[in-house]
Amino acid sequence: MSTGISAETGPRGLVFAVQKFSVHDGSGIRTIVFLKGCPLACRWCSNPEGRAAFPELMYARERCLGTDACPACLPACARAAIGCDADGRVDIDRARCDACGACANVCPSHALRMCGEWVTVDDVLQAVEEDGVFYARSGGGVTLSGGEPLAQPAFVTVLLAAARGRGLHTAIETSGLCRWSVLAAVAPLVDEVLYDVKCIDERTHLLATGVSNRRILDNFRRLRRHFPHLPVTVRTPVIPGVNDSEAVVQAIAEFVEGAGGAERYELLSYHRFGEGKYVQLGQHYALRGVEVPPEDRMRALRTAAARVRRESSDPAGVRSCDLGG
């Protein structure tokens, strides 16, 4: 999906989508800016196009007109990475492809498209401010997500400062996996933080995401200690076979309370909405066949989390919403 913004001059960041009228990623009605690049490799990631820190070629086979009716992409590829499968549709040799975008530029049906655009701060804010009236009425604003937005710290810091300067409510959705100095620099520029805590056990986290959670947990503790008045929502994507037990959810809730608490603790139900994007990227989806947690399982987990919060005398509730990424 095109971001609808163009790159010009000045500091630039790599953005792969701009989603408007969101009500799940911060206060009020929001515009979400998705930045590419993420240090985690979560097996369930619903935004796989946000992982790589460079533009990528995506191919939607169902949109392809077929190489007999439309052979435009074949001669456009200087590396001969575009071929034809047995059904007469495009077949991409990913080992040869350098994601130059030449094939996408000539594809009339947009079956081939580039994901990721280098844009300026002004480009992003121009797109965000198109919906300023909705922010004013709902208390919304702009949320930076990804990928992992803090993987582009220089661009994000300038962008948030500029958004603040224009009177926009700012929020960031983060895994917390970054240098503390990056998070400390961004915290004064946001009105709200959405912070993912996927599990407490380090070995489980390593197997599920490819990285340790030590820095993630330590950064959360430091965030609550140094910025105690900053509204923080902790989010846990509930993934079958990874963290879908009351014991795991209770352990996360206890960690959050012990580290200084949070405004809210949200349990986000696993879904498979991003599965088709793996196919478009020529990648394997590791959780193929895994079922969405039933509602009674989610209710039990919400109850387990709420029990910890009640025992900590925190009146904030726990809600569930779809996993955004």
Closest CA to 205 of 25, 76, 42: 42
Domains of the chain: 12-53+117-322 (3.20.20.70), 56-114 (3.30.70.20)
The string of pLDDT tens digits covering residues 87-100 is 999 999 999 999 99
Report the chain's mean pLDDT, rounded to a whole number. Answer: 92
Of 201-215, 280-294, 308-322, the poorest mean pLDDT is in 308-322
pLDDT at 83 over 90: yes
Closest CA to 6 of 166, 124, 100: 124
Closest CA to 180 of 237, 221, 213: 221
Cα–Cα distance between 210 and 38 in angstroms, integer? 11
Cα–Cα distance between 124 and 19 in angstroms, integer? 12
Of all residues in the chain, the percent with pLDDT exceeding 70 is 93
DSSP output for 201-267: -HHHHHHHHSS-SHHHHHHHHHHHHH-TTS-EEEEEEE-TTTT-SHHHHHHHHHHHHHTT--SEEEE
* Strands 30-35 and 141-146, sheet pairing: parallel
The string of pLDDT tens digits covering residues 46-57 is 999 999 999 999
The string of pLDDT tens digits covering residues 229-273 is 999 999 999 999 999 999 999 999 999 999 999 999 999 999 999
Cα–Cα distance between 310 and 316 in angstroms, integer? 9
What the block records as the tokens of 116 is 């990721």
* Whether 324 contacts 272, CB under 8 Å: no
The string of pLDDT tens digits covering residues 109-140 is 999 999 999 999 999 999 999 988 889 889 99
The pLDDT of residue 317 is 41
